[in-house]
Protein backbone atom coordinates (compact mmCIF):
# COMPACT_ATOMS: atom_id res chain seq x y z
CA UNK A 1 0.00 0.00 0.00
CA UNK A 2 1.39 3.40 -0.97
CA UNK A 3 1.98 6.22 1.48
CA UNK A 4 -0.71 8.23 -0.25
CA UNK A 5 -3.29 5.55 0.48
CA UNK A 6 -2.16 5.37 4.11
CA UNK A 7 -2.75 9.12 4.50
CA UNK A 8 -6.48 8.59 3.87
CA UNK A 9 -6.77 5.81 6.49
CA UNK A 10 -7.51 8.01 9.58
CA UNK A 11 -10.32 9.89 7.83
CA UNK A 12 -11.74 6.60 6.55
CA UNK A 13 -11.79 5.14 10.05
CA UNK A 14 -13.53 8.23 11.42
CA UNK A 15 -16.21 7.99 8.76
CA UNK A 16 -17.11 4.43 9.74
CA UNK A 17 -20.16 4.12 12.04
CA UNK A 18 -19.29 3.33 15.65
CA UNK A 19 -20.94 0.26 17.11
CA UNK A 20 -22.36 1.03 20.53
CA UNK A 21 -21.54 -1.42 23.29
CA UNK A 22 -24.43 -3.67 24.36
CA UNK A 23 -26.39 -2.38 27.34
CA UNK A 24 -26.49 -4.27 30.62
CA UNK A 25 -29.62 -4.41 32.75
CA UNK A 26 -28.30 -1.69 35.08
CA UNK A 27 -27.50 0.58 32.14
CA UNK A 28 -30.99 0.03 30.72
CA UNK A 29 -32.47 1.01 34.07
CA UNK A 30 -30.31 4.12 34.35
CA UNK A 31 -31.50 5.36 30.97
CA UNK A 32 -35.13 4.53 31.75
CA UNK A 33 -34.90 6.21 35.16
CA UNK A 34 -33.43 9.39 33.67
CA UNK A 35 -36.47 9.90 31.43
CA UNK A 36 -39.22 8.45 33.64
CA UNK A 37 -41.99 11.01 34.03
CA UNK A 38 -43.47 9.39 37.20
CA UNK A 39 -40.05 9.57 38.89
CA UNK A 40 -39.65 13.20 37.82
CA UNK A 41 -43.08 14.00 39.25
CA UNK A 42 -42.23 12.29 42.54
CA UNK A 43 -38.99 14.26 42.76
CA UNK A 44 -40.98 17.46 42.21
CA UNK A 45 -43.25 16.38 45.08
CA UNK A 46 -40.17 16.31 47.33
CA UNK A 47 -39.38 19.89 46.36
CA UNK A 48 -43.02 20.90 46.78
CA UNK A 49 -43.11 19.52 50.33
CA UNK A 50 -39.83 21.30 51.04
CA UNK A 51 -41.43 24.56 49.93
CA UNK A 52 -44.49 23.82 52.11
CA UNK A 53 -42.23 23.23 55.12
CA UNK A 54 -40.40 26.50 54.50
CA UNK A 55 -43.76 28.23 54.36
CA UNK A 56 -44.82 26.64 57.66
CA UNK A 57 -41.55 27.65 59.30
CA UNK A 58 -42.03 31.22 58.13
CA UNK A 59 -45.21 31.42 60.23
CA UNK A 60 -43.05 31.52 63.35
CA UNK A 61 -41.53 34.81 62.30
CA UNK A 62 -42.66 38.37 62.92
CA UNK A 63 -45.05 40.27 60.69
CA UNK A 64 -45.06 43.98 59.88
CA UNK A 65 -48.28 45.41 58.50
CA UNK A 66 -49.10 48.83 57.12
CA UNK A 67 -52.70 50.09 56.89
CA UNK A 68 -53.53 53.39 55.27
CA UNK A 69 -56.89 55.05 54.80
CA UNK A 70 -58.50 58.26 53.62
CA UNK A 71 -61.95 58.95 55.05
CA UNK A 72 -64.45 61.68 54.27
CA UNK A 73 -65.50 62.93 57.70
CA UNK A 74 -68.12 65.34 59.03
CA UNK A 75 -67.51 66.46 62.62
CA UNK A 76 -69.67 68.64 64.86
CA UNK A 77 -68.78 69.38 68.44
CA UNK A 78 -71.62 70.91 70.56
CA UNK A 79 -72.70 74.16 69.00
CA UNK A 80 -69.68 74.64 66.84
CA UNK A 81 -69.97 74.73 63.11
CA UNK A 82 -70.05 71.49 61.17
CA UNK A 83 -66.67 70.71 59.70
CA UNK A 84 -66.15 68.42 56.76
CA UNK A 85 -62.97 67.21 55.19
CA UNK A 86 -60.67 64.29 54.46
CA UNK A 87 -58.97 62.46 57.32
CA UNK A 88 -55.87 60.43 56.34
CA UNK A 89 -54.80 57.59 58.64
CA UNK A 90 -51.68 55.45 58.65
CA UNK A 91 -51.21 52.53 61.04
CA UNK A 92 -48.03 50.45 61.25
CA UNK A 93 -48.17 47.21 63.24
CA UNK A 94 -45.46 44.75 64.23
CA UNK A 95 -46.83 41.42 65.41
CA UNK A 96 -44.79 38.50 66.76
CA UNK A 97 -46.49 35.15 67.56
CA UNK A 98 -46.10 33.95 71.13
CA UNK A 99 -48.43 30.94 71.34
CA UNK A 100 -50.90 29.31 68.95
CA UNK A 101 -51.66 25.99 70.64
CA UNK A 102 -48.92 24.10 68.77
CA UNK A 103 -50.49 24.53 65.35
CA UNK A 104 -47.37 25.85 63.63
CA UNK A 105 -45.15 23.07 64.98
CA UNK A 106 -47.70 20.46 63.95
CA UNK A 107 -47.85 21.91 60.44
CA UNK A 108 -44.07 21.85 60.12
CA UNK A 109 -43.96 18.19 61.21
CA UNK A 110 -46.78 17.33 58.80
CA UNK A 111 -44.84 18.76 55.86
CA UNK A 112 -41.69 16.97 57.02
CA UNK A 113 -43.56 13.64 57.09
CA UNK A 114 -45.10 14.36 53.68
CA UNK A 115 -41.65 15.07 52.29
CA UNK A 116 -40.40 11.76 53.70
CA UNK A 117 -43.34 9.99 52.02
CA UNK A 118 -42.43 11.63 48.70
CA UNK A 119 -38.83 10.47 49.07
CA UNK A 120 -39.99 6.89 49.65
CA UNK A 121 -42.27 7.23 46.61
CA UNK A 122 -39.19 7.88 44.48
CA UNK A 123 -37.54 4.72 45.81
CA UNK A 124 -40.72 2.72 45.18
CA UNK A 125 -41.05 3.99 41.63
CA UNK A 126 -37.41 3.15 40.94
CA UNK A 127 -37.87 -0.42 42.18
CA UNK A 128 -41.01 -0.82 40.07
CA UNK A 129 -39.22 0.61 37.03
CA UNK A 130 -36.24 -1.69 37.56
CA UNK A 131 -38.55 -4.71 37.68
CA UNK A 132 -40.29 -3.52 34.50
CA UNK A 133 -36.91 -3.13 32.77
CA UNK A 134 -35.84 -6.60 33.96
CA UNK A 135 -39.03 -8.19 32.61
CA UNK A 136 -38.52 -6.63 29.17
CA UNK A 137 -34.76 -7.30 29.30
CA UNK A 138 -35.11 -11.04 29.89
CA UNK A 139 -38.06 -11.26 27.58
CA UNK A 140 -35.77 -9.99 24.81
CA UNK A 141 -32.94 -12.32 25.85
CA UNK A 142 -35.36 -15.26 25.89
CA UNK A 143 -36.87 -14.44 22.53
CA UNK A 144 -33.42 -14.01 20.98
CA UNK A 145 -32.41 -17.46 22.22
CA UNK A 146 -35.69 -18.92 20.97
CA UNK A 147 -35.15 -17.38 17.53
CA UNK A 148 -31.62 -18.80 17.44
CA UNK A 149 -32.86 -22.28 18.40
CA UNK A 150 -35.60 -22.22 15.78
CA UNK A 151 -33.23 -21.02 13.08
CA UNK A 152 -30.83 -23.82 13.94
CA UNK A 153 -33.67 -26.32 13.66
CA UNK A 154 -34.79 -24.72 10.41
CA UNK A 155 -31.29 -25.28 9.00
CA UNK A 156 -31.28 -28.89 10.20
CA UNK A 157 -34.63 -29.60 8.57
CA UNK A 158 -33.66 -27.96 5.29
CA UNK A 159 -30.56 -30.11 5.14
CA UNK A 160 -32.55 -33.18 6.11
CA UNK A 161 -35.18 -32.53 3.43
CA UNK A 162 -32.44 -32.23 0.82
CA UNK A 163 -30.96 -35.54 1.99
CA UNK A 164 -34.35 -37.25 1.97
CA UNK A 165 -35.13 -35.97 -1.49
CA UNK A 166 -31.89 -37.48 -2.77
CA UNK A 167 -32.60 -40.77 -1.02
CA UNK A 168 -36.18 -40.79 -2.39
CA UNK A 169 -34.82 -40.64 -5.95
CA UNK A 170 -32.92 -43.89 -5.46
CA UNK A 171 -35.70 -45.56 -3.49
CA UNK A 172 -34.13 -45.43 -0.05
CA UNK A 173 -36.76 -43.06 1.40
CA UNK A 174 -40.47 -42.73 0.98
CA UNK A 175 -42.17 -39.59 -0.31
CA UNK A 176 -44.22 -39.49 2.90
CA UNK A 177 -41.02 -38.96 4.89
CA UNK A 178 -40.13 -35.97 2.72
CA UNK A 179 -43.61 -34.51 3.16
CA UNK A 180 -43.46 -35.04 6.94
CA UNK A 181 -40.14 -33.21 7.12
CA UNK A 182 -41.47 -30.37 4.95
CA UNK A 183 -44.55 -30.10 7.18
CA UNK A 184 -42.41 -29.88 10.29
CA UNK A 185 -40.24 -27.25 8.60
CA UNK A 186 -43.31 -25.10 7.98
CA UNK A 187 -44.33 -25.51 11.64
CA UNK A 188 -40.87 -24.35 12.71
CA UNK A 189 -41.06 -21.38 10.37
CA UNK A 190 -44.44 -20.40 11.87
CA UNK A 191 -42.96 -20.66 15.38
CA UNK A 192 -39.99 -18.61 14.23
CA UNK A 193 -42.25 -15.87 12.86
CA UNK A 194 -44.15 -15.75 16.18
CA UNK A 195 -40.91 -15.53 18.18
CA UNK A 196 -39.57 -12.79 15.93
CA UNK A 197 -42.79 -10.82 16.35
CA UNK A 198 -42.62 -11.17 20.15
CA UNK A 199 -38.96 -10.09 20.02
CA UNK A 200 -39.76 -6.99 17.96
CA UNK A 201 -42.58 -6.08 20.32
CA UNK A 202 -40.42 -6.44 23.46
CA UNK A 203 -37.62 -4.40 21.88
CA UNK A 204 -40.06 -1.67 20.86
CA UNK A 205 -41.39 -1.41 24.42
CA UNK A 206 -37.90 -1.29 25.88
CA UNK A 207 -36.74 1.31 23.34
CA UNK A 208 -39.73 3.46 24.27
CA UNK A 209 -38.95 3.02 27.96
CA UNK A 210 -35.35 4.20 27.66
CA UNK A 211 -35.89 6.64 24.77
CA UNK A 212 -33.72 4.76 22.27
CA UNK A 213 -34.54 5.42 18.64
CA UNK A 214 -31.94 3.21 16.94
CA UNK A 215 -31.38 -0.52 17.23
CA UNK A 216 -31.16 -1.94 20.74
CA UNK A 217 -28.42 -4.38 21.76
CA UNK A 218 -28.37 -5.80 25.29
CA UNK A 219 -26.03 -8.11 27.17
CA UNK A 220 -26.85 -10.37 30.10
CA UNK A 221 -24.25 -10.39 32.89
CA UNK A 222 -25.80 -13.01 35.20
CA UNK A 223 -24.46 -16.55 34.95
CA UNK A 224 -25.76 -19.81 36.38
CA UNK A 225 -23.09 -19.87 39.10
CA UNK A 226 -24.47 -16.59 40.41
CA UNK A 227 -28.00 -18.00 40.39
CA UNK A 228 -26.94 -20.98 42.48
CA UNK A 229 -25.55 -18.85 45.29
CA UNK A 230 -27.83 -19.11 48.30
CA UNK A 231 -28.93 -15.71 49.57
CA UNK A 232 -31.18 -15.20 52.64
CA UNK A 233 -34.24 -13.35 51.37
CA UNK A 234 -34.96 -11.16 54.36
CA UNK A 235 -35.58 -7.46 53.83
CA UNK A 236 -33.67 -5.37 56.37
CA UNK A 237 -34.38 -2.01 54.77
CA UNK A 238 -37.89 -0.52 54.90
CA UNK A 239 -40.23 -1.45 52.10
CA UNK A 240 -40.64 1.82 50.14
CA UNK A 241 -44.41 1.54 49.66
CA UNK A 242 -45.00 0.72 53.35
CA UNK A 243 -42.56 3.41 54.54
CA UNK A 244 -44.28 6.01 52.36
CA UNK A 245 -47.69 5.05 53.72
CA UNK A 246 -46.47 5.14 57.32
CA UNK A 247 -45.04 8.60 56.70
CA UNK A 248 -48.45 9.68 55.44
CA UNK A 249 -50.02 8.29 58.63
CA UNK A 250 -47.62 10.46 60.65
CA UNK A 251 -48.49 13.46 58.46
CA UNK A 252 -52.19 12.86 59.08
CA UNK A 253 -51.54 12.78 62.85
CA UNK A 254 -49.78 16.13 62.67
CA UNK A 255 -52.54 17.66 60.54
CA UNK A 256 -55.07 16.54 63.14
CA UNK A 257 -53.03 18.33 65.80
CA UNK A 258 -52.86 21.41 63.61
CA UNK A 259 -56.62 21.41 63.09
CA UNK A 260 -57.32 20.99 66.82
CA UNK A 261 -54.90 23.81 67.64
CA UNK A 262 -57.23 26.18 65.79
CA UNK A 263 -59.57 25.94 68.79
CA UNK A 264 -56.83 27.05 71.22
CA UNK A 265 -56.25 30.67 72.23
CA UNK A 266 -53.58 32.55 70.32
CA UNK A 267 -51.33 35.19 71.78
CA UNK A 268 -49.28 37.69 69.81
CA UNK A 269 -47.03 40.48 70.95
CA UNK A 270 -48.10 43.65 69.16
CA UNK A 271 -46.39 46.97 68.76
CA UNK A 272 -48.26 49.60 66.74
CA UNK A 273 -47.93 53.21 65.65
CA UNK A 274 -50.94 55.21 64.43
CA UNK A 275 -50.93 58.58 62.72
CA UNK A 276 -54.04 60.45 61.73
CA UNK A 277 -55.00 64.03 60.83
CA UNK A 278 -58.55 64.84 61.90
CA UNK A 279 -59.67 68.48 61.58
CA UNK A 280 -56.25 69.50 60.29
CA UNK A 281 -54.70 68.35 63.55
CA UNK A 282 -51.97 65.71 63.39
CA UNK A 283 -52.17 62.99 66.06
CA UNK A 284 -49.86 60.06 66.76
CA UNK A 285 -50.21 57.07 69.06
CA UNK A 286 -47.72 54.35 69.99
CA UNK A 287 -48.91 51.17 71.69
CA UNK A 288 -47.42 47.92 73.01
CA UNK A 289 -49.26 44.89 74.26
CA UNK A 290 -50.38 41.30 73.88
CA UNK A 291 -53.19 40.38 71.55
CA UNK A 292 -55.57 37.47 72.17
CA UNK A 293 -57.42 35.55 69.46
CA UNK A 294 -59.72 32.73 70.52
CA UNK A 295 -62.38 30.99 68.50
CA UNK A 296 -65.26 30.30 70.90
CA UNK A 297 -67.67 28.80 68.36
CA UNK A 298 -66.98 27.61 64.83
CA UNK A 299 -70.23 25.81 63.91
CA UNK A 300 -68.47 22.39 64.02
CA UNK A 301 -65.83 23.24 61.40
CA UNK A 302 -62.87 22.02 63.47
CA UNK A 303 -64.50 18.77 64.59
CA UNK A 304 -65.59 17.99 61.03
CA UNK A 305 -62.06 18.59 59.76
CA UNK A 306 -60.59 16.36 62.47
CA UNK A 307 -63.08 13.60 61.59
CA UNK A 308 -62.08 13.74 57.92
CA UNK A 309 -58.38 13.60 58.75
CA UNK A 310 -58.97 10.68 61.11
CA UNK A 311 -60.61 8.73 58.31
CA UNK A 312 -57.66 9.55 56.06
CA UNK A 313 -55.31 8.23 58.73
CA UNK A 314 -57.30 5.00 59.09
CA UNK A 315 -57.24 4.53 55.33
CA UNK A 316 -53.45 4.96 55.29
CA UNK A 317 -53.12 2.46 58.17
CA UNK A 318 -55.13 -0.16 56.28
CA UNK A 319 -53.16 0.46 53.10
CA UNK A 320 -49.88 0.05 55.01
CA UNK A 321 -51.01 -3.32 56.38
CA UNK A 322 -52.14 -4.51 52.95
CA UNK A 323 -48.92 -3.39 51.24
CA UNK A 324 -46.86 -5.15 53.89
CA UNK A 325 -48.71 -8.44 53.41
CA UNK A 326 -48.55 -8.09 49.62
CA UNK A 327 -44.80 -7.45 49.79
CA UNK A 328 -44.25 -10.60 51.87
CA UNK A 329 -46.23 -12.63 49.33
CA UNK A 330 -44.35 -11.17 46.34
CA UNK A 331 -41.00 -11.87 47.99
CA UNK A 332 -41.99 -15.43 48.87
CA UNK A 333 -43.28 -16.13 45.34
CA UNK A 334 -40.15 -14.70 43.71
CA UNK A 335 -37.92 -16.74 46.01
CA UNK A 336 -39.92 -19.90 45.34
CA UNK A 337 -39.78 -19.33 41.58
CA UNK A 338 -36.02 -18.85 41.86
CA UNK A 339 -35.60 -22.16 43.69
CA UNK A 340 -37.99 -24.02 41.37
CA UNK A 341 -36.17 -22.59 38.36
CA UNK A 342 -32.85 -23.97 39.58
CA UNK A 343 -34.40 -27.44 39.93
CA UNK A 344 -35.94 -27.20 36.46
CA UNK A 345 -32.62 -26.10 34.96
CA UNK A 346 -30.90 -29.11 36.49
CA UNK A 347 -33.55 -31.52 35.17
CA UNK A 348 -33.71 -29.93 31.72
CA UNK A 349 -29.93 -29.94 31.34
CA UNK A 350 -29.96 -33.68 31.99
CA UNK A 351 -32.91 -34.09 29.62
CA UNK A 352 -31.16 -32.12 26.88
CA UNK A 353 -27.99 -34.18 27.22
CA UNK A 354 -30.07 -37.35 26.86
CA UNK A 355 -32.08 -35.93 23.94
CA UNK A 356 -28.93 -34.83 22.12
CA UNK A 357 -27.35 -38.24 22.59
CA UNK A 358 -30.55 -39.89 21.39
CA UNK A 359 -30.54 -37.77 18.19
CA UNK A 360 -26.98 -38.78 17.37
CA UNK A 361 -27.69 -42.47 17.96
CA UNK A 362 -30.89 -42.40 15.93
CA UNK A 363 -29.16 -40.65 13.04
CA UNK A 364 -26.53 -43.41 13.01
CA UNK A 365 -29.20 -46.12 13.06
CA UNK A 366 -31.13 -44.31 10.32
CA UNK A 367 -28.04 -44.40 8.11
CA UNK A 368 -27.82 -48.17 8.65
CA UNK A 369 -31.52 -48.64 7.91
CA UNK A 370 -32.59 -49.63 11.42
CA UNK A 371 -34.87 -46.62 11.93
CA UNK A 372 -37.20 -44.59 9.77
CA UNK A 373 -36.87 -40.88 9.20
CA UNK A 374 -40.03 -40.22 11.22
CA UNK A 375 -38.37 -41.63 14.34
CA UNK A 376 -35.32 -39.46 13.78
CA UNK A 377 -37.52 -36.40 13.26
CA UNK A 378 -39.33 -37.12 16.51
CA UNK A 379 -36.00 -37.25 18.33
CA UNK A 380 -34.91 -33.97 16.71
CA UNK A 381 -38.21 -32.32 17.67
CA UNK A 382 -37.85 -33.56 21.24
CA UNK A 383 -34.34 -32.13 21.48
CA UNK A 384 -35.55 -28.79 20.08
CA UNK A 385 -38.40 -28.58 22.57
CA UNK A 386 -36.13 -29.45 25.49
CA UNK A 387 -33.58 -26.84 24.36
CA UNK A 388 -36.25 -24.16 24.01
CA UNK A 389 -37.67 -25.01 27.43
CA UNK A 390 -34.20 -24.97 28.99
CA UNK A 391 -33.37 -21.52 27.61
CA UNK A 392 -36.73 -20.10 28.66
CA UNK A 393 -36.41 -21.52 32.18
CA UNK A 394 -32.92 -20.01 32.50
CA UNK A 395 -34.25 -16.57 31.66
CA UNK A 396 -37.30 -16.90 33.90
CA UNK A 397 -35.03 -17.98 36.74
CA UNK A 398 -32.73 -15.01 36.18
CA UNK A 399 -35.75 -12.70 36.27
CA UNK A 400 -36.97 -14.38 39.48
CA UNK A 401 -33.48 -13.98 40.94
CA UNK A 402 -33.43 -10.25 40.18
CA UNK A 403 -36.98 -9.80 41.46
CA UNK A 404 -36.29 -11.72 44.68
CA UNK A 405 -33.19 -9.67 45.50
CA UNK A 406 -34.95 -6.47 44.49
CA UNK A 407 -37.96 -7.15 46.73
CA UNK A 408 -35.61 -8.15 49.56
CA UNK A 409 -33.77 -4.83 49.25
CA UNK A 410 -30.52 -6.59 48.31
CA UNK A 411 -30.21 -5.32 44.74
CA UNK A 412 -28.29 -2.10 44.18
CA UNK A 413 -30.19 0.32 41.96
If you classify domain 61-99+265-297 with CATH, what class do you get? mainly beta
Label residue 151 exposed, middle or buried (CB < 10 Å: 0-12, 13-18, 19+). middle
Domain ranges of the chain: 21-60+100-263+301-407, 61-99+265-297
- The pLDDT > 90 percentage for the chain reads 50
Question: What pLDDT score does 16 carry?
Answer: 47
Mean pLDDT of the chain: 87
Angle (deg, nearest 10), helices 175-210 and 103-169 = 160
Angle at 351 between CA 350 and CA 357, to 5 degrees: 95
Q: Domain 21-60+100-263+301-407 belongs to what architecture? A: Up-down Bundle (1.20)
Count how many residues are written for the chain. 413
pLDDT in tens, 15-67: 544 556 889 999 999 999 999 999 999 999 999 999 998 988 888 888 899 99
pLDDT at residue 220 greater than cutoff 70: yes
Contact 39, 129 (CB under 8 A): yes
Q: In what order do the strands lie in the sheet with 63-75?
A: 63-75, 83-99, 266-276, 283-293
pLDDT at residue 13 greater than cutoff 50: no
Q: How confident is the model at residue 364 (pLDDT cuts 50, 70, 90)?
A: confident
Q: How confident is the model at residue 196 (pLDDT cuts 50, 70, 90)?
A: very high
pLDDT at residue 293 greater than cutoff 80: yes
Contact 245, 78 (CB under 8 A): no
From its phi and psi, is residue 279 left (phi > 0), alpha (psi between -120 and 50) or beta?
left
Question: Could you give the CA distance from residue 368 to residue 382 in angstroms, rounded to a whole number?
Answer: 22
Ranges 82-86, 148-152, 154-158, 170-174: which has the least confidence:
170-174
Question: Could you give the CA distance from residue 118 to residue 111 in angstroms, rounded to a whole number?
Answer: 10
**At 118, which helix (H) or strand (E)?**
helix 103-169
Question: Could you give the CA distance from residue 383 to residue 395 in angstroms, rounded to a whole number?
Answer: 19
The answer to whether 21-60+100-263+301-407 and 61-99+265-297 have equal CATH topology is: no
Question: Could you give the CA distance from residue 88 to residue 384 in angstroms, rounded to a whole number?
Answer: 98
Residues 6+ apart with CB under 8 A from 388: 146, 149, 150
pLDDT in tens, 394-408: 999 999 999 999 999
Q: How confident is the model at residue 3 (pLDDT cuts 50, 70, 90)?
A: very low
- The pLDDT > 70 percentage for the chain reads 92
- Measured between alpha carbons, how far apart are the two ends of the chain, in Å? 52
Q: How confident is the model at residue 11 (pLDDT cuts 50, 70, 90)?
A: low
State if pTM tops 0.85. Answer: no
Question: Could you give the CA distance from residue 243 to residue 98 in angstroms, rounded to a whole number?
Answer: 35
Question: Could you give the CA distance from residue 298 to residue 227 in angstroms, rounded to a whole number?
Answer: 65
Question: What pLDDT score does 253 carry?
Answer: 92
Ranges 5-19, 209-223, 280-294, 316-330: which has the least confidence:
5-19
Amino acid sequence: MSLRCLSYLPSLLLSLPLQAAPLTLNQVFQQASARSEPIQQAQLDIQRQEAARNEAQSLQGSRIRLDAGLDAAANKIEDRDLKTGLEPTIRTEWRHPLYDGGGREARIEATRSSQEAAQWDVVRLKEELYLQCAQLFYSIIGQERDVANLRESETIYRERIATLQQRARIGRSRRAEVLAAETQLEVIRAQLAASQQALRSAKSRLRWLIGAEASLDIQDTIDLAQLRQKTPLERKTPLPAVAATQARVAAADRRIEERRAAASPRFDFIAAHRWSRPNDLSTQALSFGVGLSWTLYDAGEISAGVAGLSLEKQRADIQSQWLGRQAQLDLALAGQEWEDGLLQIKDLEAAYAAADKNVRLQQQEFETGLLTNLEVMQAIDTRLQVKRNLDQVKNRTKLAYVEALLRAGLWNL
